[in-house]
Structure 1
Amino acid sequence: MDNHSYNFPSDCTPLTNCKSGRKPGSTVINMHGSGGKKPPRDYLIWSLCNTLYVNFCCLGFMALIYSIKVRFVQNGALAQESSDKAKWYNILAAGWNMLIPLLLLVILVLLLIHLGTTQGSFDFFGEDGFQNFLKLFSWQTERD
């Protein structure tokens, strides 16, 4: 396009005010959003923590899948449903993640209490109890 073929009106040139009655137009961009509503929470950090820690029955992994799905779904109702599922999978995973170590701790305490009350080679808290216990795992045999 050559410069001589296009002429601006003399009263309205670019980057200046128009002297005629015309007003410069405005640009409107319509965004396809949720109409001012906040997007549903995705619980992504919570899901990552549950996935990396114990992750019993893959509950944390399921929560992570739904958390990622919330970010990529365009439908508001489906995003809210995925957010709710991610929240409940996270609650279940967090419950199991706290329950399993507590059960192991209780079993360890009960085992130590039981071993402390028995007599003989398993008596940890008595005289020479720990030494007798270690003898069970030694490979050396006593010579006559």
Structure 2
Amino acid sequence: MHIEEHEVVVLGTHQSWAPLITTMINIHSEMFVPSHIIWSLFSTIFMNLCCLGFVALAYSMKSRDWKMVGDMIGAQAYASTTKCLNIWALVLGLFLIIMFIIIFTTGSLIIFQAISEIIQGYGGY
């Protein structure tokens, strides 16, 4: 129980004939909801594996729209989905890049080895 409430209970009713003046303060807490639109644009341009970048961009726009309307719960839901889609696009894109580098380097080594064997075969005759 708050101190003010306790004092009212102890004192009973208001003792003065003057009207009781109350002040109400409304505190609006602005909830920050990121739309992840820059990250989605990056995913769309550079890491658009299985069109996850396009889907993430669409969800980030929906999140921004819901935030403009004032529905923070809907905006938070779309922002959460956007974040997950962007993470998946990033992970799969990095995996694809790493696999391309591995295949390119091993393929180059295999081709180099085959060419050197061909050259050694011609030199032996």
TM-score, normalising length from structure 1?
0.57
Which residue is 1:115 aligned to?
Answer: 111
- CA shift, 1:115, in A, is 1.9
Which residue is 1:81 aligned to?
Answer: 77
CA distance in 2, matches of 1:60, 1:100: 15
Is 1:58 the equivalent of 2:51? yes
CA distance in 2, matches of 1:43, 1:100: 23
If you compute each CA radius of gyration, which structure gives the higher value, 1 or 2? Answer: 1
Hey, which of these two has a bigger chunk of helix by percent?
Answer: 2
Q: 1:102 aligns with which of 98, 102, 109?
A: 98
CA distance in 2, matches of 1:39, 1:105: 40
Q: Which moved more, 1:50-59 or 1:82-91?
A: 50-59
Question: Which amino acid in 2 is paired with 1:45?
Answer: I
- CA shift, 1:72, in A, is 0.8
- CA shift, 1:39, in A, is 2.8
CA distance in 1, matches of 2:45, 2:109: 33
- CA shift, 1:66, in A, is 1.0
- Tell me the matched-pair count: 91
Which residue is 2:33 aligned to?
Answer: 40
Which residue is 1:26 aligned to?
Answer: none
Mind listing any 5+ residue stretches in structure 1 that lack a counterpart?
A: 1-29, 124-144
Q: Secondary structure at the match of 2:118?
A: coil
Larger relative contact order (CA 8 Å, sep ≥ 6): 2
Q: Secondary structure at the match of 2:34?
A: coil
Question: Deviation per CA, 1:99-132, whole angstroms, max 9, x where unpaired?
Answer: 21211111011012212323116x8xxxxxxxxx
CA distance in 1, matches of 2:104, 2:76: 42
RMSD over aligned Cα, in angstroms? 2.4
CA distance in 2, matches of 1:69, 1:85: 11
Q: Where has structure 1 moved over 6 Å in runs of 4 or more?
A: none
Mind listing any 5+ residue stretches in structure 2 that lack a counterpart?
A: 1-25, 121-125
